[in-house]
């Protein structure tokens, strides 16, 4: 729901009030993160075992990670009841993967930071550093 300041009612920005795994439904949504660079919401959907991006104003979402049928998994591209999602300033995504007992890292795209290009090896090193911090 989206509420304007001092409003007594809101408007739905994602979902259609029914559970499901298709691109118009949110089945036990848990975590949400607003990505201002794309004017979209990243939503961790525990029931569908995925994370979707819902651009504000669109009528359906796009799956960012996980699969379309809602099956849980433990590989690096599957989730099992994700509960939260966030982006770091470089655009990398972190997902709390509840029943896999992990924080999963996803590099969504190569991005430019000022004039410096962040290399994949540096991102992998950052992932290892974050894992050490979590222990």
- Order across the sheet with 102-107: list the strands: 82-87, 92-97, 102-107
Is residue 2 in some structural domain? no
Cβ partners under 8 Å of residue 22, min gap 6: none
pLDDT band (50, 70, 90) for residue 119: very low
Is residue 129 in some structural domain? no
Is residue 10 in some structural domain? no
Q: Report the alpha-carbon distance of residue 67 to residue 73 in Å, rounded.
A: 9
Residue 70 contacts residue 49 (beta carbons within 8 Å):
yes
Across the chain, what does the average pLDDT equal? 82
Is residue 99 in some structural domain? yes
CATH at residue 40: 2.40.10.500
pLDDT of residue 125: 60
Is residue 70 in some structural domain? yes
Q: Report the alpha-carbon distance of residue 66 to residue 69 in Å, rounded.
A: 9
pLDDT in tens, 37-78: 999 999 999 999 999 999 999 999 999 999 889 999 999 889
Is residue 135 in some structural domain? no
Percent of the chain topping pLDDT 90:
51
Is residue 51 in some structural domain? yes
Q: Which domain holds residue 33?
A: 29-110
Is the pTM here over 0.95, yes or no?
Answer: no
Total domains, the chain:
1
Q: Report the alpha-carbon distance of residue 70 to residue 76 in Å, rounded.
A: 16
Question: What proportions of the chain, in percent to the nearest 5, are helix, strand and coil?
Answer: 15, 35, 50
Greatest Cα pair distance in the chain: 49
Overall residue count recorded for the chain in this entry: 135
Is residue 9 in some structural domain? no
């Amino acid at each position: 729901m989206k509420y304007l300041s001092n409003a007594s009612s809101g408007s739905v920005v994602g979902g259609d009030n029914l559970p499901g795994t298709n691109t118009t439904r949110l089945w036990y949504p848990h975590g949400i993160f607003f990505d201002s660079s794309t004017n979209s919401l990243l939503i961790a959907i525990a029931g569908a075992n995925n994370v979707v991006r819902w651009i504000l104003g669109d009528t359906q979402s796009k799956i960012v990670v996980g699969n379309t049928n809602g099956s849980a998994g433990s590989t690096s591209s599957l989730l099992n009841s994700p509960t939260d999602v966030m982006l770091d300033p470089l655009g990398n995504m972190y997902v709390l993967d509840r029943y896999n007992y992990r924080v999963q890292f996803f590099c969504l795209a190569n991005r430019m930071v000022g004039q410096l290009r962040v290399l994949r090896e540096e991102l992998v090193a950052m992932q290892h550093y974050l894992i050490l911090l979590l222990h």
